[in-house]
Amino acid sequence: MASASSPSWLSRALEPVAVPMPNTRAVAVLRATLEDAAGRVLQRNFTSFVVGEGASPRDETLAVDGGSLRVLRMAPDRVSGVLWSERHWTAMDGRKQNGAGAGFFEYRLAWPAGLRPGDVLGASFVAELGAKQLFGKDRRDKGSVQGDFMLGGGTHDPGLNPNAYPMTDGVRHPSAVRIVVNGVALGTFELPDDAADHRGLLSWHAQKRDGRLDEAGSHGTLVSASMSAEALRAAAAAGELRVRLEVDEALPGGLAVYGEQAGRYPVDPTVVLALGR
């Protein structure tokens, strides 16, 4: 925590404050509070920093206490199979994959050479996932914005403007994703909304400086699914991990898959294998 002071009724630049950043990929938030002499809060503000450049290693071994982690990452746009009832498209130059309605995304990763399933002490699939609403601007039969909204006219659909992504409010658009690895279901996970607000820091940082917005502020939920020994044996036998993310017709709320440079969390869809020494 750092602090700075200034006399009353004076406007001037404060002395620079050194802010150390994490030494690993991260989203860091600097919060500032303005208080008077009595300690009363007059204002709060924040700014954000994205730590890390380029893509994380696709296959990485990390040392942990008493063992190691084999981390296998995949870019969200490297899908091996895709099928959606309404529409499939990408956003933010491939940093985010969208599927509307019911359907699936499938990803494939090579099983690590020489690794026996019995040597894996535990495994999980981790990804930032969200529901995906088909807004007016995303429909193939979309119309055009008519009139001036600020003068009482304009479209009744707030999602029809090409720059729009309606912010999070009381009306939710839920979905649910079933995660299946090599034919073995790991569980079904609720996705409460197709959210967009200040928490989607990476989606704001991913915007081009071209005067347009591309799903700015959108973000999902960090999902972690434990992988069973049965799924690991099936993957080893097949020589690859086949991860399928499915949305059922019973709740066709769509699916958004975020990469490490979009959404809220700096993570790609990832398989984590816990190994011994």
One DSSP character per residue, 135-147 reads -GGG-TT-----S
* Amino acid residing at 59: D
In a domain, 2, yes or no: no
pLDDT of residue 140: 81
Mean pLDDT of the chain: 92
- Out of 27-36, 75-84, 248-257, which region has the weakest mean confidence (pLDDT)? 27-36
In a domain, 41, yes or no: no
In a domain, 224, yes or no: yes
- Alpha carbon distance, N-terminus to C-terminus of the chain: 38
- Out of 16-20, 173-177, 211-215, which region has the weakest mean confidence (pLDDT)? 16-20
- What value does the mean pLDDT take over residues 141-149? 64
List, in sequence order, every residue forming a beta bridge with 223; answer none if it has no partner.
127
Give the start-end residues of each E strand in 140-239.
175-181, 184-191, 195-196, 218-219, 221-226
Name the nearest CA neighbour of 167 among 193, 139, 140. Answer: 193
Q: Model-level pTM?
A: 0.89
The boundaries of the domain holding residue 65 are 58-275
Q: What is the CATH number of the domain that holds 62?
A: 2.60.120.260
In a domain, 235, yes or no: yes
Distances (CA, A) of 152 to 96, 146, 149, 166: 34, 11, 5, 19
- What value does the mean pLDDT take over residues 222-248? 97
Q: What share of the chain is helix, strand, coil (3-state, %, to 5)?
A: 10, 40, 50
State the pLDDT confidence band at 145, using cuts at 50, 70 and 90: low
- What value does the mean pLDDT take over residues 85-93? 97
Tens digits of residue pLDDT in 184-221: 999 999 999 999 999 999 999 999 999 999 999 999 99
Percent of the chain topping pLDDT 90: 74
Number of domains comprising the chain? 1
Percent of the chain topping pLDDT 70: 93
In a domain, 63, yes or no: yes
